[in-house]
Structure 1
């Protein structure tokens, strides 16, 4: 049985991780106000874990990324 390399769950987590790392880099190089972006990503992940609603998952699904088990 072959698994897809990138499914919806992995795409959302990869995007969130990338945004957090970019935010940390921007905090170090530009301004501490970029911590608000990190907080926004964290809050969005937290609410998505309770509600199942994730805007990034909707975008990735529209782009044709296959379903995972978290965002259905």
Structure 2
């Protein structure tokens, strides 16, 4: 499963970067997925970060083969 952050929705709480710093970072006032970590959506801590995101900006989508 792929993970992404919708910057048009993110309001910069940095909650994701605090919860899962191996996958998320905080750059230019927004949460971002670290390079090479987009395929981390199956990790339970990433799914929890998506559920707990105050702006609901974290997207989990099925990867395409």
Give me the TM-score of the superposition, normalised by structure 2. Answer: 0.26
Work out which of the two has the higher radius of gyration on C-alpha atoms and give 1 or 2: 1
Higher strand share: 2
Using the size of structure 1 for normalisation, the TM-score is 0.24
